[in-house]
Amino acid sequence: MKTTGWIGLGISPAGGMPGADIALGWVDQTGTAYIQDRYACSYSRPIMDKNEVNWIVLQGREVNGWTAIQFKRMFDTCDSMDVPITFGTNKLIFAYGLVDPDLSQPNNDITYHGNRRGSRILPLPNLDIVHHLLLYECDSTTDFHDTILPEGLCDKIDTQVGMCIANIALGWAVGGNFIVEYPKEAGYPLGANFSVAYYMIQVHYNNPQGISNRVDSSGVRFFLGNTLRHHSAESRTVQRRLILSYGSDSSLYRNL
């Protein structure tokens, strides 16, 4: 958002402020990111969530007048002051101010947003049929033509991508977290002197009802850092378990 003040994102039951679950965040002058869990009773300043804090800040920064904050929240928190994120259509509202909240005030007063507000529709149509996805590393000897990469149904291109199913870089399955944070001691290497140049995503669907006319855009996004981590993380597949390890310790286990 183009501001150096606070930004707010809300999940609304009807598309307006009343009843909306709102995350209000900002980045202070020291570069520290904050998130507050709030609830809008009406068309007025949203109050602090009195039950449980469910919006969790991951990181944030201000650069050249823009503020960006990364955070997470469970789909359904079972909190009466939250709004569930559903598989269908979700109504989002947003607003922003020009200055940070005043933490010296009892309710951390925020300035009125005026006309700096809006709403969006966010559909999440395919979480009911995507069963799991795997990101494979292609063998370092693999040489594709970058403008004509193989794609299609798995059993139709298996000979073309035979060198891309040796090692799993990352996996997700139903019940897993949508944001995976590597431990601060380790990171997954990309580019530079890392030997892997190509990756392949394989998505498995569970569609027992035979639903048609669905378009899916499931994928994986890596956030690159500017500082090299002390250890490089790697994945190892043991029977039906994917293990992410670094150094001499295994740090993350996920069943597929």
3-state SS class at 53: coil
Looking at residues 241-245, what average pLDDT do you find? 54
Give the end-to-end CA distance of the chain in Å, rounded to a whole number: 37
Task: Choose among 144, 186, 139, 185: nearest CA to 164.
Answer: 139
Strand locations in the chain, DSSP E?
7-12, 21-27, 33-39, 47-48, 56-63, 66-72, 89-96, 117-123, 130-137, 167-173, 186-187, 199-205, 231-232, 234-238, 241-246, 249-255
Amino acid at site 153: L
Taking the CA atoms of residue 225, residue 226, residue 232 and residue 235 in that order, the dihedral angle to the nearest 10 degrees is 20
Task: Give the highest mean pLDDT range of 22-31, 220-229, 247-256.
Answer: 22-31
DSSP string, 187-234: E---STT-S---EEEEEEE--TT---S--------PPPPSS--SEE-E
Q: For residues 85-103, b (16+ Cβ closer than 10 Å) or e, as one string?
A: beeeebbbbbbbbeebbee
Q: What is the pLDDT of residue 111?
A: 86
**Tens-digit pLDDT profile for residues 146-199:** 888 888 887 888 888 888 887 888 888 876 766 566 777 888 887 777 788 888
Look-up of token digits 């598989």: 87
Mean model confidence pLDDT for the chain: 82
Mean pLDDT value of segment 87-108: 83
Please, are residues 17 and 93 in contact by the beta-carbon 8 Å criterion? yes
d(CA 45, CA 34) in angstroms, rounded, equals 18
More confident call, 248 vs 242: 242
> Are the beta carbons of 204 and 216 closer than 8 angstroms?
no
Between CA 96 and CA 90 the distance in angstroms is: 20
- Residue 186 forms beta bridges with which residues? 231
Domains of the chain (ranges, CATH numbers): 7-123 (2.60.40.1210), 130-255 (no CATH)
pTM: 0.55
